[in-house]
Structure 1
Amino acid sequence: MTEIKIYFNKNNLAFENLKPLVDLIMPGLLFCNSTFIHKNYSFLRYFVPGIEHILDKDYLSITSSVIFDERIRFYHRSRIEFAQQALIDILMDQVKRNYIKYPIIIKMYNSDQMLESDKSFFSLLIERQKEFDGKIRFFMDKGQHFFKGEDINLIENTQERGTQPGNCGFSFFSTLSKNEKFKRAMGLGLYEDAIKIGENLIKSSEGIERDNLNLKLAVAYVGNDEIEKGEQYYKQIIKDCDFPSIKISALYGLSMLYLRHFPKHKRSMEYGEECLIKARKLIEENKDILGDNYLFHKVFNRNGYSLVLFKKGDYSNAHEYCVNGQKSLAKFYGEDKHLLHRTVLLYNSTMTACALNNFDEALEHFSLLLKLDPYYEDYWSSRGSLYKTIGDYKKALKDFSHAIELNPYAQNFYLQRAETFEVMQEFQKAEKDYLRALCLKPNDTNAILNYSCLLIDLGDYDKALELLQSQAYKESDDLYKIYNNIGLIYLEKELFKESINYFEKTMAIKSNFVPAYINMSTALFECGFLDDALEYLNKGLELETYNPDYLYNRAYLYKTIEDNEKAITDLKEVLQIDPNHTDARLLLSELEMVNTHE
């Protein structure tokens, strides 16, 4: 048996409260294959201080290695989740190697002082405990219970509650100054820490130092999903700051809030565009003051404006800004400066080229991009998606696999590769990836839906039904999709009454979800309710007029009720949309032959 006691302290930094767990796995970790450490270095550095000293080479992307002051791309919370998933995988690895003995008892004290990062870590561990064969047991003191619906035992021995000397108030980074801790937090995307430290630092700062801190805190609040607070900081800088470069950066950041980061109902393309126009005016007015940085600010202002153009559908000019901007930076500053910003521009160039259907050019940009930054996994995944779009599935698989090698904890990479395997009819490999995706996030609706579709296609209806029904009573924005897939299974099992019930539930939640109308039509057709089937099919086609498969279904239904003229009209429309629709061509020939004989 292994027992771990964790005493939470709200004054600690992210991962510090987990030190007892890290200390437990570290001895085994030192015996791990060095390849594992190299591959996971990007994540291990979150909770193993000094690990860089045991490596011969850093395996970091430009995004990960560049100092914060040179950033244009900022980590989201998902990066912290990847590190937490790595910690869980390492724990599991140590159990398999028999370095850590089952059962594992985790006792948590002072739970009311948990950091947000602590809550998210234990939520993941609790979700994944099935992988440990149920041999992890969680105990929590009588503090606030954060894990709803989970079987966590209460610690009844109140004498153990409280701060235990040596386990609370420690610091991984006791030798670092506050400024160094702040830079580390911002660099790793530990925004909860950055806000805590930065708000303290700003009390004793002034002038340009204070304005720079305000700018960074704006980023930290946005990254911590406190977007309105970030907006306040940006606006305060724009109002009070006397330094052009900082004010320009604040206007750029504010524009991105209104163009990208705010919830859809609060976004404003007009206001985002206005911020970029004001920033451009400032850039031109302060050309001499900005000096060598003038071109940099000008190029990135145009990069921001390319997003405005993209949203307006002006893909050509958006593309031109991105392509020319990257070339301008390389020409003026040389090949080794502003590398991160060049890669961002190159990536945006791939997106705008794709919007213009210039796929060959997009692949050229990807080649240069991956040469500059071969360790940024998202670029490999994005190129894989492009290969998948153009039908080059082997190259897509290769890129998705490389992305997974660089980051084995990004669930969406497994989903992308699984979908590609499905297209190639390599169903066992697809299933393996779906299971890994569900291992990382057992209750992820998207993974459950996709995997259930594979099981339905394979005819494993009972397994698919069990998987979906486990989610049917949980709150989810995608519950209507769960109901629709359950209805599909009952339809395949010829349990038409049950299928109709679930399609009705689907439409009650999402009245404009077209597949539910089409599926309902099919169920009613099988029951012999042809008029009702036609009514639902027509409703579906009102929402999605030119879908050739739906039109074909209606043509077949018209044929069944012996309204051949309407059937022929629909089939001709199908073939106008899709000249290669074989079923439509065959049915049209059959009906025209019937008309000729009549």
Structure 2
Amino acid sequence: MNFSPVKALIDVTDRSGWPREALIGLKLISPDDPSCSDIGTEASLTDAAQAQDRIRFFLKDRLVRNFRDVGRAWLSAVGPCVVEVNHAELLDEGSRLFLETLATLPERDVEVRLRVGAGGSSVTAHPPKNPREETINRLFTQVGTLSQAELDYLYEQAVEYLSVGDSWTAERILRGIQPRRDVPAVWGRLGLAYTMQGRTLEAEFCYLRWRSDPDPVGVAGADYALSMLYARHHPAHLRSLDRTAEYLEHGYAALDQVDEDDERDLTFHRVFNRNGYALVEFRRGRVDEAIEHLTTGISRLRSGTAVHRMHQTVLIYNLAQCYRRIGRIDSAIDTYRELLGVDGKMPEYHMELANCYLSSERFDEALASLTKARDLGPSIQEVHSLLGFTYLQLGKTTEALDAYRVAHECVPQDTEALYDYAYLLAESEQPEKALQLACSVDHALLPQDQAVKLLTLAAEQHARLGDLPAAQSALEEVLALTPNNPDARANLEQVTAAMA
């Protein structure tokens, strides 16, 4: 099973004192761990959703956030250490991503060694026994002779793994049972697993197989999944709002073919189809039409079942985004507050409310919302970046520096966060540190605008530190990238004159 090496590491610690966010992340890695069995009461509605009710699934950036939270808690428990992985060539994708994340945690004294073949570790950790995983593995060895009930069991387990974010285990199970259970639902779930992994072309192949479902509800589900590939998940050059709209309209029409006495929740399917179409209208600049779709959908869900309470948060969030797009900031604030009244444990909602406060220059209220978002989701980089900006507006440079530092440490390869931190270091009379950061990346590998910003910052720090030849060289690189840059040319002339 996936994450076996990670489960072995985690099992050497006492998780009873782990913070909330780490236990939420643990649910992804080891969903049967007793330590996180009750975390649903502390999690947001999205994190706590049951498999059959889940409508939001986690992509890679969300998984890495969870891994950071788990990694920090684990290292706090074990202290400085070396993690040596033998037979690293056999690592599953989930474990590899976790170990990569662990190795890059800031200010943590941990070294991760990946060895091909057997190693010589003095201490060996083994994953705990897990009856569910043992059953799955046993059935897998007999997959060619399984009964329909046993195949159904494996399918249900795949759905459970998808719901906690483990698309790799789900993929393994679904690919194993597909030859014996070649039905549209299996193709649909396999497509979802590929989408979560960013393998969108394979996802589209699976969704098209799902679309052959004779059940109109299945067709509508496949159409919605395909529409989101073309709206959100495909690489930019493959995306198409026209294709998105076509799939959504086809799916909406398919729902009209369902028998009147069908007991399934058709309200949900119709509302979320129109939620998807609201995205099309939003992207086309027809925000008022998007708002109409969303407000109608929210009204219909409010008169529905209890599970609609969780589902409506998606539409309320999108409605707030619409209000913000057209400058109705007060309406957006009211809508985000309503959203937080339904699900106050989702850190992103607090962050988006803070964005509205920042738009209105209500910095104290923005700070309060961002502090709450940080407490709920300490690994969300954007929260720390916004905290840095907000502290600056409030004249709190020391706090801003700390926030920008954490934002940079969350995703060290993010050059925008690196620049923000380096720039404020420079403004805070710390040119050596600013220069070190500005020169810590290969400018030749960056997009032009990012390279120009960092090279310009580096040139300024070289000049402040008296290294005029280095400043000259950096400015010449800027002009090579942007020959018509008047500021760079003027600065180069000043440096050259000073060197004469």
Does the alignment pair 1:17 with 2:5? yes
CA–CA separation in structure 2 for the residues paired with 1:46 and 1:189: 6
- In structure 2, the residue corresponding to 1:204 is in which secondary structure? coil
Q: Relative to structure 1, is the Cα distance of residues 507 and 116 closer, same or farther in structure 2, using a 3 angstrom cutoff?
A: farther
- In structure 2, the residue corresponding to 1:367 is in which secondary structure? helix
The AA in structure 1 aligned to 2:176 is: N
- RMSD value over aligned CA atoms? 3.0
- In structure 2, the residue corresponding to 1:205 is in which secondary structure? coil
**Paired residue for 2:133?**
174
**Paired residue for 1:517?**
485
- On the 8 A contact 1:64/1:187 being kept in 2, the answer is no
- On the 8 A contact 2:158/2:173 being kept in 1, the answer is yes
The AA in structure 2 aligned to 1:22 is: I
From 207, 219, 223, the equivalent of 1:234 is 207
The AA in structure 2 aligned to 1:141 is: R
Does the alignment pair 1:123 with 2:72? no
* 1:459 positional shift: 2.3
- In structure 2, the residue corresponding to 1:408 is in which secondary structure? coil
**Paired residue for 2:167?**
191
**Paired residue for 2:23?**
41
* 1:67 positional shift: 2.2
**Paired residue for 2:403?**
433
From 199, 211, 219, the equivalent of 2:184 is 211
**Paired residue for 2:115?**
141
Give runs of aligned pairs for residues 539-550 of structure 1, distance below 5 A.
none
Q: Relative to structure 1, is the Cα distance of residues 62 and 199 closer, same or farther in structure 2, using a 3 angstrom cutoff?
A: same
- On the 8 A contact 1:42/1:60 being kept in 2, the answer is yes
Unmatched runs of 5 consecutive residues or more in structure 1 = 1-11, 144-154, 530-598
CA–CA separation in structure 2 for the residues paired with 1:255 and 1:349: 20
* 1:242 positional shift: 0.2
- In structure 2, the residue corresponding to 1:203 is in which secondary structure? coil
CA–CA separation in structure 1 for the residues paired with 2:371 and 2:393: 16
CA–CA separation in structure 1 for the residues paired with 2:327 and 2:71: 42
Does the alignment pair 1:501 with 2:473? yes
* 1:404 positional shift: 1.3
* 1:198 positional shift: 1.5
CA–CA separation in structure 2 for the residues paired with 1:140 and 1:341: 42
Does the alignment pair 1:255 with 2:238? no
**Paired residue for 1:392?**
362
- On the 8 A contact 1:409/1:440 being kept in 2, the answer is yes
* 1:347 positional shift: 0.5
The AA in structure 1 aligned to 2:103 is: I
1:450-482 C-alpha deviation (Å, 9 max, x unpaired):
101111221221110012212246844444443
Q: Which sits farther off after the overlay, 60-69 or 346-355?
A: 60-69
CA–CA separation in structure 2 for the residues paired with 1:441 and 1:266: 27
Q: Relative to structure 1, is the Cα distance of residues 41 and 272 closer, same or farther in structure 2, using a 3 angstrom cutoff?
A: same
- In structure 2, the residue corresponding to 1:471 is in which secondary structure? coil
* 1:79 positional shift: 2.9
CA–CA separation in structure 1 for the residues paired with 2:21 and 2:102: 22
- On the 8 A contact 1:259/1:268 being kept in 2, the answer is yes
CA–CA separation in structure 1 for the residues paired with 2:179 and 2:410: 41
TM-score with structure 1 setting the length: 0.73
- On the 8 A contact 1:319/1:352 being kept in 2, the answer is yes
CA–CA separation in structure 1 for the residues paired with 2:472 and 2:281: 45
- In structure 2, the residue corresponding to 1:174 is in which secondary structure? helix
From 286, 305, 314, the equivalent of 2:258 is 286
**Paired residue for 1:72?**
55
From 61, 64, 71, the equivalent of 1:81 is 64
1:79-121 C-alpha deviation (Å, 9 max, x unpaired):
32223212321233224xxxx5x5x232211110011222222
Does the alignment pair 1:449 with 2:389? no
CA–CA separation in structure 1 for the residues paired with 2:36 and 2:325: 44
Does the alignment pair 1:401 with 2:401? no
Q: Relative to structure 1, is the Cα distance of residues 248 and 54 closer, same or farther in structure 2, using a 3 angstrom cutoff?
A: closer
Give runs of aligned pairs for residues 330-345 of structure 1, distance below 5 A.
330-331=302-303, 333-334=304-305, 336-345=306-315
* 1:316 positional shift: 1.0
The AA in structure 1 aligned to 2:65 is: F
**Paired residue for 1:313?**
285
- In structure 1, the residue corresponding to 2:179 is in which secondary structure? helix
- On the 8 A contact 1:106/1:138 being kept in 2, the answer is yes
Q: Relative to structure 1, is the Cα distance of residues 261 and 57 closer, same or farther in structure 2, using a 3 angstrom cutoff?
A: closer
1:551-598 C-alpha deviation (Å, 9 max, x unpaired):
xxxxxxxxxxxxxxxxxxxxxxxxxxxxxxxxxxxxxxxxxxxxxxxx
- On the 8 A contact 1:326/1:342 being kept in 2, the answer is yes
Q: Which sits farther off after the overlay, 491-500 or 111-120?
A: 491-500
CA–CA separation in structure 2 for the residues paired with 1:372 and 1:120: 33
CA–CA separation in structure 1 for the residues paired with 2:258 and 2:349: 35
- On the 8 A contact 2:455/2:475 being kept in 1, the answer is yes
1:32-55 C-alpha deviation (Å, 9 max, x unpaired):
3xxx54453312323453335775
Aligned-pair identity (%): 21
TM-score with structure 2 setting the length: 0.86
* 1:524 positional shift: 4.5
Unmatched runs of 5 consecutive residues or more in structure 2 = 137-153
CA–CA separation in structure 2 for the residues paired with 1:528 and 1:19: 59
**Paired residue for 2:430?**
460
The AA in structure 2 aligned to 1:71 is: R
CA–CA separation in structure 1 for the residues paired with 2:166 and 2:28: 9
Give runs of aligned pairs for residues 294-313 of structure 1, distance below 5 A.
294-313=266-285
**Following superposition, which runs of at least 4 residues in structure 1 exceed 6 angstroms of deviation?**
none
Q: Which sits farther off after the overlay, 49-58 or 341-350?
A: 49-58
CA–CA separation in structure 1 for the residues paired with 2:167 and 2:338: 32
**Paired residue for 1:223?**
196
Does the alignment pair 1:359 with 2:347? no
The AA in structure 2 aligned to 1:213 is: V
- On the 8 A contact 1:39/1:405 being kept in 2, the answer is no
- On the 8 A contact 1:490/1:496 being kept in 2, the answer is yes
CA–CA separation in structure 1 for the residues paired with 2:247 and 2:430: 54
CA–CA separation in structure 2 for the residues paired with 1:176 and 1:61: 31
Q: Which sits farther off after the overlay, 269-278 or 73-82?
A: 73-82
- In structure 2, the residue corresponding to 1:288 is in which secondary structure? coil
- In structure 1, the residue corresponding to 2:361 is in which secondary structure? coil
Q: Relative to structure 1, is the Cα distance of residues 167 and 180 closer, same or farther in structure 2, using a 3 angstrom cutoff?
A: farther
1:329-354 C-alpha deviation (Å, 9 max, x unpaired):
212x15x2322321111001001111
* 1:366 positional shift: 0.8
CA–CA separation in structure 1 for the residues paired with 2:200 and 2:445: 25
Q: Relative to structure 1, is the Cα distance of residues 348 and 55 closer, same or farther in structure 2, using a 3 angstrom cutoff?
A: closer
Q: Which sits farther off after the overlay, 177-186 or 191-200?
A: 177-186
1:112-159 C-alpha deviation (Å, 9 max, x unpaired):
001122222222222237532xxx44444335xxxxxxxxxxx776xx
* 1:186 positional shift: 0.5
CA–CA separation in structure 2 for the residues paired with 1:47 and 1:228: 26
1:161-202 C-alpha deviation (Å, 9 max, x unpaired):
9xx9x9479647436653453133101111111111111232
- On the 8 A contact 2:27/2:36 being kept in 1, the answer is no
* 1:247 positional shift: 0.7
- In structure 1, the residue corresponding to 2:378 is in which secondary structure? coil
Q: How many residues align?
A: 476
* 1:499 positional shift: 3.8
* 1:315 positional shift: 1.1
Q: Relative to structure 1, is the Cα distance of residues 52 and 124 closer, same or farther in structure 2, using a 3 angstrom cutoff?
A: closer
- On the 8 A contact 1:491/1:523 being kept in 2, the answer is no
- In structure 1, the residue corresponding to 2:85 is in which secondary structure? strand
CA–CA separation in structure 2 for the residues paired with 1:466 and 1:53: 41
From 365, 372, 376, the equivalent of 2:342 is 372
